[in-house]
């Protein structure tokens, strides 16, 4: 068990005053052996990649002895103090920030709650710092003419000597407490100026700063931190010296101390992080990602201690990254893209071992990157989902085989697949019947047969089945979905019906597409995928509602931009809302030519919308349109999807990532497509092929998308990129008067041998711009 942090009782010796001399790292060596790994994720999660934690401070010791003068060490040798790095495991009363993806808990970051929870300790009296930002900049300017760095050196020596000195230098007002999450109280411009100058100073100044940071981190911490301590951590974390691998031992200990802060302190740091500029915030993230990558795959392994002695490095960095990720999600729009948190290095580790560790141990006992899914790229997540799907397919097929043999029946290869036999003329009804009848086989490999047609399904028939079925179901005449031209997306029809099984079918189709790595040409708005992960696992209690999530006017704008604009106008209206809009808490919808009214709250038809209640009205209206009015339709869709994709791997995904898995990515790279294209009847050096790529690479984006849609059935790219399309150009030995032909089931373009670039361009544009409908024999 881990040792407890000594919390002083009223009768115990008082803490050393804030201005007391910093404790050098001398004393009882065995104490260090007892240090536990960092609490990384979830209650009591021990970090460390499971490689042990003993002796993990020894490298820091050697580093300090090399930097600190022997004289100072001798002076402090008699000191009874010994080095104790913080272990705050016993005070973690509050849940972790956004770490346990199994529970999908998201801690509220409201200012009021975090300020109430945070213990406010008295700040110590700070040293007097006479240098202003202007003084510092003048000293730096003088160096250019005199070459004398003494004044600058003295500033760095004093400022980075301790946490109180850091606060004295950078705090806007040394006498103010700044006990608020919204304002760190730090002069950010001054911090930036000092750090921007630091990386261009002589080595002795840079070493002085590092020595000061070491001394600061070696203080004997007891109990909670003050706000000034948090400010010091916040400042030190931005130090650009930590880009250098030679500083990683110090950086790791800084990260560890930040990672093991109590939850209330993390709330302060999170809110301070979100106030950083985009540039500085991104630098913090990139520095941490690089730290993880180089610890996993060091260019010079001898630079770092053995992994067994610093197994807490990566978990510490991951926890601090989690704080930054939480901060990023609090800002609208985010400071950086969620993809900027991806660490592509993780694509090259054993992802399934990480996944199984997470599956077996959850967020306790052992560290896994799956506890921090925001650092795992969508490509890596797809690999995890695919392999998890394959394993489930194998297990289901094996069980079917065992059942057959146990009943002394002859095994049949067809029992290993989800075999769909459908008629083209009754595509939807036959598909629904087959999937309902073979519900137990949904997790087997999909194979499709069209009745009355010879042909083995090698992947082409499956893709054709998806294409035809999706096209038919989403047709406006079918009435299941409404197409919104302004937003170019489909949304669920709110019409009431007796049977919602066809919505379940669409959910199953989407699940099968993800399960069988098929990209679908579906246009749902982003909030659809947010609802699909609410919750990410089907609840065991059938009474718990599914597919319900918090929605805003921004979500509505992605589907019905005009209506969303009208509601935004209502919210910002400066006149008398009741008199000018004359609305009540009631909405009207047309269903099969009949206008029906619905109250947004009890007695809503008698409650006028006023300046005071308009926010409630807009929220209830939005919730009605996106949640309540389509609840049964979406619930059926939700259950259909999760009947196929019931996997813990789904909990690793953001809603945007689910959309990319289902529909592919909208980012086209035609040069990558050119590099991966295969040829049949042509060589890549043939004149027709050269003409083709000259034309395609010169196309505007809309024509490039049309070409992709013409040849593959979708204008989006699979998660693995253009190479995963297996795009093929075949020679079509027909007249050059003919237009190009595409076989979307095989991502194949049949191109006649056009004699000129002009002729090829003209025919190709005509072909891809008039490609609605299938030529089926």
Count of other CB atoms within 10 angstroms of residue 413: 6
Which residue, of 321, 341, 361, is where some domain finishes? 341
Q: Is 294 a member of any domain?
A: yes
Q: Report which of 393, 446, 439 is spatially closest to residue 418, judged by C-alpha positions.
A: 446
- Which one from 370, 527, 528, 745 is the annotated catalytic residue? 745
What confidence score (pLDDT) does residue 221 get? 62
Q: DSSP secondary structure string, 355-378?
A: HHHHHHHTTSSS--GGGSGGGS-H
| Measured distance CA(641)–CA(511) in Å, rounded | 5
CATH code of the domain covering residue 742: 3.30.2410.10
Q: Is 122 a member of any domain?
A: no
Quick one: which H or E segment has residue 742? strand 741-743
List strands edge to edge, sheet with 728-731. Answer: 678-680, 728-731, 748-751, 741-743
Place of tokens 């960092």: 38
Q: Is 121 a member of any domain?
A: no
Place of tokens 């004699």: 755
Count of other CB atoms within 10 angstroms of residue 628: 13
| CA–CA distances in Å: residue 760 to residues 225, 665, 688, 734, 753 | 71, 28, 8, 14, 9
| Measured distance CA(131)–CA(143) in Å, rounded | 16
| Measured distance CA(93)–CA(406) in Å, rounded | 53
Cis peptide leading into residue 737 (ω within 30°): no
Per the structure block, which two tokens stand in for 743? 């076989």
| Measured distance CA(685)–CA(680) in Å, rounded | 13
312 within 8 A of 53, measured Cβ to Cβ: yes
Per the structure block, which two tokens stand in for 212? 């000061």
What confidence score (pLDDT) does residue 567 get? 94
294 within 8 A of 252, measured Cβ to Cβ: no
Segments of the chain scoring below 70 in pLDDT: 1-127, 129-130, 220-223, 363-365, 455-459, 771-777
Q: Is 288 a member of any domain?
A: yes
739 within 8 A of 767, measured Cβ to Cβ: yes
Count of other CB atoms within 10 angstroms of residue 73: 14
- Counting the structural domains of the chain, the total is 2
Which domain range does residue 697 map to? 664-770
Buried b (16+ CB within 10 A) or exposed e, 199-215: eebeeebbebbbbbbbb
Which residue, of 341, 366, 392, is where some domain finishes? 341
Q: Is 102 a member of any domain?
A: no
Quick one: which H or E segment has residue 587? strand 586-591
Q: Is 628 a member of any domain?
A: no
Per the structure block, which two tokens stand in for 219? 């203080």
What confidence score (pLDDT) does residue 143 get? 87
Which residue, of 284, 312, 341, is where some domain finishes? 341
| Measured distance CA(290)–CA(240) in Å, rounded | 13
| Measured distance CA(147)–CA(341) in Å, rounded | 41
Extract long-range pairs of 281-285: CB within 8 Å, 24+ residues apart. 281/324, 281/327, 281/328, 281/335, 281/336, 282/335, 282/336, 282/340, 283/238, 283/240, 284/237, 284/238, 284/324, 285/321, 285/324, 285/336, 285/340, 285/341
Backbone angles phi, psi at 682, to 5 degrees: -120, 160
Q: Is 502 a member of any domain?
A: no
Count of other CB atoms within 10 angstroms of residue 26: 20
Q: Model pTM? A: 0.78
Buried b (16+ CB within 10 A) or exposed e, 308-337: ebbbbbbbbbbbbbbbbbbbbbeeeebbbe
Question: Is 124 known to be catalytic?
Answer: no
Q: Is 493 a member of any domain?
A: no
Strand-pairing partners, residue 578, are: none
Place of tokens 């898995």: 661
């Amino acid at each position: 068990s881990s040792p407890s942090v000594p919390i002083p009782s009223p009768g115990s010796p008082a803490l050393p005053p804030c201005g007391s001399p910093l404790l050098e790292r001398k004393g009882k060596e065995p104490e260090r052996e007892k240090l536990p790994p960092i609490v990384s994720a979830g209650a009591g999660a021990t970090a460390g990649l499971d490689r042990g934690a003993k002796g993990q401070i020894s490298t820091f010791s050697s580093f300090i002895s090399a930097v600190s003068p022997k004289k100072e060490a001798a002076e402090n040798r008699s000191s009874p103090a010994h080095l104790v790095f913080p272990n705050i495991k016993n005070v973690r009363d509050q849940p972790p920030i956004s770490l346990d993806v199994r529970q999908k808990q998201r801690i509220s970051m409201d200012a009021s709650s975090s300020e109430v929870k945070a213990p406010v300790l008295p700040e110590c009296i700070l040293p007097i710092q006479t240098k202003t930002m202007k003084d510092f900049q003048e000293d730096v300017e003088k160096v250019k003419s005199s070459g004398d760095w003494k004044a600058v050196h003295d500033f760095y020596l004093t400022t980075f000597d301790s946490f109180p000195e850091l606060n004295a230098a950078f705090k806007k007002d040394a006498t103010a407490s700044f006990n608020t999450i919204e304002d760190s109280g730090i002069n950010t411009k001054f911090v930036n100026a000092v750090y921007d100058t630091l990386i261009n100073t002589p080595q002795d100044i840079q070493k002085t700063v590092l020595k000061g940071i070491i001394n600061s981190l070696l203080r004997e911490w007891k109990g909670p931190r003050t706000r000034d301590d948090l400010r010091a951590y916040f400042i030190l974390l931005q130090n650009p010296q930590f880009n250098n691998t030679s500083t990683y031992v110090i950086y790791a200990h800084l990260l560890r101390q930040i990672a093991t802060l109590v939850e209330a302190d993390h709330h302060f740091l999170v809110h301070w992080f979100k106030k950083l500029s985009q540039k500085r915030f991104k630098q913090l993230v990139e520095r941490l990602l690089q730290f993880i990558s180089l610890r996993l795959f060091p260019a010079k392994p001898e630079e770092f201690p053995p992994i067994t002695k610093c197994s807490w490095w990566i978990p510490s960095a991951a926890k601090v990254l989690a704080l930054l990720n939480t901060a990023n999600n609090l800002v609208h729009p985010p400071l950086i893209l969620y993809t900027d948190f991806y660490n592509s290095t993780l694509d090259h580790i054993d992802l399934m071992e990480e996944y199984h560790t997470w599956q077996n141990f959850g967020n306790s006992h052992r560290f896994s990157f799956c506890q921090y899914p925001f650092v795992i790229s969508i490509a890596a997540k797809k690999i995890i989902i695919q392999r998890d799907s394959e394993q489930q397919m194998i297990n289901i097929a094996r069980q079917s085989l065992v059942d057959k043999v146990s009943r002394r029946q002859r095994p049949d290869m067809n029992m290993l697949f989800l075999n769909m036999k459908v008629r083209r003329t009754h595509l939807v009804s036959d598909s629904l019947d087959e999937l309902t009848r073979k519900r137990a086989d949904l997790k087997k490999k999909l194979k499709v047969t069209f009745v009355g047609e010879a042909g083995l399904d090698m992947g082409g028939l499956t893709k054709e089945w998806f294409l035809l079925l999706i096209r038919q179901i989403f047709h406006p005449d079918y009435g299941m979905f409404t197409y919104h031209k302004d937003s170019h997306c489909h949304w669920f029809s709110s019409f009431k019906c007796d049977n919602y099984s066809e919505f379940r079918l669409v959910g199953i189709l989407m699940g099968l597409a993800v399960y069988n790595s098929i990209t679908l040409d579906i246009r749902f708005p982003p909030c659809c995928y947010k609802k699909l992960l609410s919750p990410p696992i089907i609840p065991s209690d059938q009474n718990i509602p599914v597919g319900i999530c918090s929605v805003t006017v921004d979500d509505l704008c992605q589907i019905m931009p005009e209506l969303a604009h009208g509601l935004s106008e209502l919210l910002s209206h400066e006149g008398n809302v009741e008199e000018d809009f004359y609305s009540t808490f009631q909405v009207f919808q047309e269903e099969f030519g009949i206008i029906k009214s619905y109250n947004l709250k009890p007695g809503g038809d008698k409650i006028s919308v006023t300046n005071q209640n308009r926010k409630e009205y807009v929220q209830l209206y939005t919730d009605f349109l996106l949640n309540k009015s389509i609840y049964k339709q979406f619930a059926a869709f939700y259950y259909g999807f999760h009947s196929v994709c019931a996997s813990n791997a789904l909990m690793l995904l953001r809603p945007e990532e689910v959309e990319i898995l289902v529909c592919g990515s909208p980012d086209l790279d035609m040069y990558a497509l050119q590099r991966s294209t295969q040829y049949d009847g042509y060589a890549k050096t043939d004149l027709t092929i050269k003409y083709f790529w000259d034309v395609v690479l010169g196309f505007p984006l809309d024509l490039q998308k049309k070409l992709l849609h013409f040849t593959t059935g979708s204008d989006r790219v699979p998660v693995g990129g253009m190479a995963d399309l297996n795009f093929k150009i075949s020679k079509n030995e027909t007249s050059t008067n003919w237009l190009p032909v595409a076989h979307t089931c095989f991502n194949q373009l049949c191109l006649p041998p056009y004699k000129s670039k002009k002729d090829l361009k003209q025919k190709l544009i005509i072909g891809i711009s008039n490609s609605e409908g299938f030529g089926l024999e």
